[in-house]
Amino acid sequence: MTFVLAAASVTTAMADGLRTAPEFVINMTDGSQKLLSSYKGKPICLAFFFTTCPHCQDMAKMLSSQIVPEYTPKGVQFLAAAFNDEEAKTGTPQFVANYVKGYPMGWAERGSVLEFLQVSIMTPLYVPIMVFIDRNGKVQDQYIGDPTFLKDPPKNVRAELDKILAVKATSVKPVTRISKK
């Protein structure tokens, strides 16, 4: 598994040193799915939570009350997924009802989250996990339960969002071909 993840990170690395966010599927409680690729061209704040984690509950509430109302009008798309095994699927509806307002949240399999984050199954995971993706689909930063980041979440989330909002969309210029006769 480590070899596969290492190979994936090599193939997704770009010249700018940032990796392209791979496709990710969030299973919604109504049975539908949200695809990360459906938000192409938008800056994205993606949170991964455990439904039973008090820090995750605090982060979800803070995002809902302070950050989402401020940054959604600026074009940021917020998404969240629980991934604490069986509790993720069964606990997500109550977690959403108690802590999440203004952005979609569902659940995902642990393996798909690890693959998305490009971490080994042997890596200890601390939650909440925050991933910031620019409008070009590049992962600018990800914080896996980072204690420094979590000391002041409103300030640090705002700083990361301002950073991804500052990244301009790039477009691929068409190649002009000159035919030779």
- Residue 174 falls inside a structural domain: no
In the chain, the largest separation of any two C-alpha atoms, in whole Å, equals 70
pLDDT score at 14: 45
- Residue 32 falls inside a structural domain: yes
Among 7-11, 13-17, 52-56, 157-161, the range scoring the smallest mean pLDDT is 7-11
- pLDDT, tens only, 28-72: 999 999 999 999 999 999 999 999 999 999 999 999 999 999 999
> How many Cα atoms are found within 13 Å in the side-chain-facing hemisphere of 2?
2
- Residue 175 falls inside a structural domain: no
Give the CATH number of the domain where residue 111 resides: 3.40.30.10
Q: Which domain holds residue 129?
A: 2-166
Among 95, 79, 168, 65, which residue's Cα sits nearest to residue 131?
A: 79
If one counts the domains in the chain, the total is: 1
- Residue 89 falls inside a structural domain: yes
pLDDT more than 70, % of the chain: 85
> How many Cα atoms are found within 13 Å in the side-chain-facing hemisphere of 130?
24
